Chains A and B, each alone.
Chain A
Amino acid sequence: MDSILKTQRDIGIVGYGSYVPRYRLPAAAIAEVWKGRVDQAVLPVREKSVPGPDEDTVTMAIEAGQNALCRAGVSPQQIRAVWVGSESHPYAVKPSGTIVAEALGITPNVNAADFEFACKAGTEAMQAAFGFVGSGMGDYALAVAVDTAQGRPGDALEYTAAAGGAAFVIGPAEQSVAILEASYSYVTDTPDFFRRAHQLYPEHGHRFTGEPAYFHHIIQAARRLLDGLGRQPSDYAAAVFHQPNSKFPQKVAQELGFCNEQIRAGLLAPHIGNTYAGASPLGLTAVLDEAQPGQRILMVSFGSGAGSDAMSFIVSEHIEARRRLAPLTRMYLQREKTVNYTQYARWRKKIVLH
């Protein structure tokens, strides 16, 4: 039984764009507040990105989307779907996609919807866009993966819950900078992390989030896609895995047989933390920023609940000219201003007034 996913017509990423807010909070500043001491060895990341007080999933999706449209070189009016994957949509009811589509000049001949699947909401939107464009329903779809993640003050997740993301114009293969070879999705009912309605912060299964959740799903998704394509890790110039911290993606890469050099370009968590739905897609943009024609790229997301989407791309000759048309992801990483815990607590509404 062939379980890998292939489109009817050849498609790929025609344009990509990223966005990371300018503010950073060092993990040491969080440890200082909640532990009273800083043990650098146990901090999961060096620092995390923090959105400004006027930023949210919608505003970040708009800037990432503008960058993706610039690189794609297609008119906004040619886009037939805007799908935004996030676990931090500003409204519970009122799609982020409507605002993003309007601001990008894409309305009204467009399908718009929001996707939700913890940290893999963004790759869900990409998978849907592959199907939509791959079946010929439309020539172009915009898939966005962004989050402004929330961590309960003092919780382990507060050290990493960050903000940022990426957007991709999916379109015909002949116009693509990276052509999709195939994808695969692996999903089970594994309650490692969840947030009930009306709750501000998620709950998580502590150690349970590792083995049966993150590692199992990513390894299964990666292996089944590679098997289906008849490929080895050595066929890939780069691989990007979901990165909730610095350690997990390095460990999962090793278990799958990828070396450090293969994951170097796409490993952003040590500098910006876990951007949730934005994490592996943002890593993919950093890889595309330095990719060469003919190289293969593997991306595997992970979303709690749980599931993984795996995608295999081959870079085309269009990459060289197209990547210069919008800011590189590294430029967003370098645009940084450190904030202290008090400023962050106020902006992120950690201080509740009664």
Chain B
Amino acid sequence: MGIPRNWRLRNQRYRLVGSQCPQCQNLFFPPRQVCPHCYNSELSEFVFSGKGSVYSFTVLYQTTPKFEFQIPYIVALIDLNEGPRITAQLTDVDAEEVRIGMPVEMVVRKISEENERGLIHYGYKFRPIAFPESE
């Protein structure tokens, strides 16, 4: 990911900032400019809570050099509690511990490094709820 794109997407990637259609109440992540349901183009900002559950997942053992530092790693489809389904890595969990439907929460982690000299990309990942007793 180039520097301009990384910069442009920082609010989505650090804080799950998406959008909401004020007419039909639909929520979008990543944010949309125009509502695909009612074609309203005046969408407002919506910050997701970061809570969700695992819809499905897979384990990656082979990847590009940028991601090699963390293999094997888990990529999951996450159903956010507010609705949208997004793709994200799971972290702080081993592959054999992951279950479909497992409740997860968003954390900011290192996604990739351009190289030893380049930009470090931070963004959302999900982990099993760390302290379920305090939920």
Residue among A102, A327, A347 making CB contact with B130, cutoff 8 Å: A327
Question: Do A327 and B134 touch (CB < 8 A)?
Answer: yes
Contacts of A62 in B (CB 8 A): 14, 108
- Specify which chain A residues have a CB less than 8 angstroms from the CB of B120 in the assembled complex: 56, 58, 90-91
A103 CA / B91 CA spacing, docked (Å): 18
A63 contacts B by Cβ under 8 Å: yes
B111 interfacial contact with A, CB 8 Å:
yes
Expressed in whole angstroms, the Cα–Cα distance for A103 and B110 within the complex equals: 13
Task: Say yes or no: A59 contacts B109, CB within 8 Å.
Answer: yes
Q: In the complex, which of the residues B15, B70, B130 contacts A53, with contact meaning CB atoms closer than 8 Å?
A: B70
Q: Is A99 an interface residue (CB 8 A)?
A: yes
Interface residues of chain A: helix, strand, loop or mixed (majority): loop
With A54-B110, A55-B109, A59-B109: A102-B10 Cβ-Cβ less than 8 Å: yes
Please report which residues of chain B, range 94-109, place their CB below 8 angstroms from some CB of chain A when the two chains form the complex. Answer: 107-109
CB <8 Å contact, A58 and B70 = no
Bound CA–CA A52/B107 (angstroms): 13
Counting CB contacts under 8 A, is A210 at the interface? no
Say which residue of A54, A90, A91, A347 sits within 8 Å of B109 (CB atoms). Answer: A54
Interface string of B110-135 (1 = CB under 8 A from A): 11000000001010010000110010
- Asked whether B108 lies within 8 Å of A103 as measured between CB atoms, the reply is yes
| Interface positions of A from 325 to 344, Cβ below 8 Å from B | 327, 331, 335
- Contact yes or no, A54 B15, CB < 8 A: no
B75 to chain A, nearest CB (A): 13
Contacts of B110 in A (CB 8 A): 53-56, 58-59
**A154: Cβ under 8 A from any B Cβ:** no
Residues of chain B with a CB closer than 8 A to A347's CB = 69
Q: Mark A204-220, 1 if CB is under 8 A from B, else 0.
A: 00000000000000000
Question: CA A91 – CA B83 in complex, angstroms?
Answer: 36
Q: How far is the CA of A168 from the CA of B108 in the complex (A)?
A: 19
Q: Please measure, in the bound complex, the distance between the C-alpha atom of A188 and the C-alpha atom of B67, giving whole angstroms.
A: 44
Main secondary structure of the interface of B (DSSP, over half): mixed
Smallest CB separation, A321 vs chain B (Å): 14
A257 at the interface (CB under 8 A from B): no
Q: Could you tell me the distance between the alpha carbons of A59 and B108 in the complex, rounded to whole angstroms?
A: 6
CA of A105 to CA of B12, assembled, Å: 12
| Cβ-closest chain B residue relative to A103 | B14
Contact A102 B14 (CB under 8 A): yes
- A22 adjacent to chain B (CB < 8 Å): yes
Most buried by A among B91, B109, B134: B109
Which B residues touch A335, using CB under 8 A? 130-131
Q: Is the CB of B92 within 8 A of A22?
A: yes
Q: With a CB–CB cut-off of 8 A, which chain B residues contact A91?
A: 120
**B125 & A105 in contact (Cβ 8 Å cutoff):** no
Tell me, in angstroms, the Cα distance from A52 to B11 when the chains sit together: 24
1/0 per residue A61-78: CB within 8 Å of B? Answer: 011000000000000000
Query: Given A59-B108, A105-B15, do A54 and B130 touch, yes or no (CB 8 Å)?
Result: no
Most-contacted residue by chain B among A53, A58, A90, A102 (CB, 10 A): A53
Minimum distance in angstroms from A92 CB to a CB of chain B: 11
Nearest CB in chain B: distance from A348 CB, A: 11
Chain A residues near B108 (CB-CB < 8 A): 59, 62-63, 103
Q: List the 6 shortest-distance A-B pairs measured between CB atoms, nearest first.
A: A103-B14, A54-B109, A54-B110, A53-B70, A62-B108, A327-B131
A53-B110, A91-B120, A102-B11 are known; give 7 further A-B pairs, CB within 8 A. Answer: A54-B91, A54-B111, A55-B110, A56-B120, A58-B110, A59-B109, A347-B69
Q: Return 23 A-B CB contacts under 8 Å, by A number.
A: A53-B70, A53-B110, A54-B91, A54-B111, A54-B125, A55-B110, A56-B120, A58-B110, A58-B120, A58-B122, A59-B107, A59-B108, A59-B110, A59-B122, A62-B14, A63-B107, A90-B120, A102-B10, A102-B11, A102-B14, A103-B14, A105-B15, A331-B131
